[in-house]
Structure 1
């Protein structure tokens, strides 16, 4: 199992990482949707803006939501790149994996089949494993399947 704390890789610099962020922000923003006021997500977790769960639940402005999304994507991309160094300089795969991690959490991503396949340099297999995450609360959700299909398409670019 991959462990983000055990793998060492420099992240946050370089054209590949910047390109991954540029790809991931609109992808995640589109699929998360934006709600300025707090709400409960599909499994009852308090959420605001673009799927953010790690902040105070209050009303946010559009500018605050966008800034939060940009910061959040970077906060997820960095540990994904550390957890999966094989994709740290592969913008399309890193963007897709970051979107998955933003939705399921870093721990779940770093213990996933996608991470293991990417680590073994089976990039197409890692992309395919992204599609496994189509359930919430133990039940199939078509919206998640649709999101995973788009993440998969992005992930396969250049392979």
Structure 2
């Protein structure tokens, strides 16, 4: 993911040095890092190969390190699943989308199907379908999708 894409993702997810509720009951820290059961129990995060306590918060540098660690899985998921060439903006948009809906969600999405069928003009509408939280329309997610689409189209 480019620095530009990472900056937009940080803006959309938020940058928090303390644990917070993501709005649907998930304990989160940093830039959209959902704490795992092990992380909650241990009070530790793995950042750049080092165990870091987060109970009293993270530094800005630690948040950036955690984001970089987290992004590797999503970047790899895009690289492994997408079979056509995409621009840097499109790649960044896909990583942000996957980061938000999850790797399994992305793998099962019509966005990936249309991408791999080289029907790139359908991807924005495919992304718009992911606008619900708990089965209920969520304006925040709808806004997020529109921002990801603008990035996909190279408009931001």
Specify the TM-score bucket, using the shorter chain as the normaliser.
Answer: 0.7 to 0.9
Which residue in 2 is equivalent to 1:26?
A: 7
Which one has the bigger strand percentage? 2
User: Aligned equivalents of 1:33 and 1:107: distance in 2?
Assistant: 23
Rg bigger for which structure?
2
Is 1:106 aligned to residue 116 of structure 2?
Answer: no
Q: How far is the alpha carbon of 1:67 from its aligned partner?
A: 1.5
Would the aligned equivalents of 1:93 and 1:127 in 2 still touch at CA under 8 Å? no
For residues 35 and 22 of structure 2, what CA distance do their matches in structure 1 show? 13
* Whole-angstrom distance in 2 between the partners of 1:144 and 1:48: 19
Residue deviations 1:4-50 (CA, integer Å, cap 9, x gap): xxxxxxxxxxxxxxxx4333211210100011111221211111111
Give the structure-2-normalised TM-score. 0.80
1:10 aligned residue: none
2: CA distance between counterparts of 1:71 and 1:24? 15
Partner of residue 29, structure 2:
48
CA contact (8 A) 1:38 1:46 kept: yes
Q: Is the counterpart of residue 141 in structure 1 residue 155 in structure 2? A: no
Deviation at 1:51, TM superposition (A): 0.6
